[in-house]
């Protein structure tokens, strides 16, 4: 059950944000075998003064269309699955809403399965 937090500059239309949700969810389904309807995602928008990034860190030239995508997930995926996820997210977001791969920044945070509660005060995976 991944939890996805997406951060971007303010001003994008609703359709752009929905395309972000759809692309990330599709990539998770295809590469991480995430079940249908396992969608827990947020988008946070930031004004220019509250959104900072290295414009050329590691030789990658980024623009103000940069999106930060942080995914918290169980620590059960292989290195190959992680690489596939990163590539698939960049490819799908390139198709819709049209983000350059240089502007897709993904951070995967892995946690033990017992660190989740999906509601009712229960640790469903523990």
| Residues annotated as part of the active site | 2
Query: Is 112 within 8 Å of 74 (Cβ atoms)?
Result: yes
Contacts of 30 (CB under 8 A, 6+ apart): 84, 88
Question: What stretches of the chain show up as alpha helix (H) in DSSP?
Answer: 14-32, 79-95
Burial (Cβ within 10 Å: 0-12, 13-18, ≥19) of residue 95: exposed
Report the distance separating Cα 85 and Cα 31, nearest Å.
Answer: 5
């Amino acid at each position: 059950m991944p939890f996805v937090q997406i951060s971007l500059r303010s001003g994008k239309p609703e359709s752009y944000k929905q395309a972000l949700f759809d692309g990330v969810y599709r990539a998770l389904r295809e590469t991480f075998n995430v079940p249908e309807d396992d969608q827990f995602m947020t988008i946070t928008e930031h004004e220019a003064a509250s959104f900072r990034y290295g414009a050329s860190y590691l030789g990658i030239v980024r623009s103000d269309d940069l999106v930060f995508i942080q995914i918290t997930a169980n620590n059960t995926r292989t290195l190959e699955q992680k690489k596939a996820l990163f590539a698939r997210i960049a490819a799908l977001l390139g198709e819709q809403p049209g983000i350059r791969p240089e502007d897709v920044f993904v951070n995967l945070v892995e946690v033990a399965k017992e660190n989740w509660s999906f509601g009712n005060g229960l640790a469903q995976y523990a």
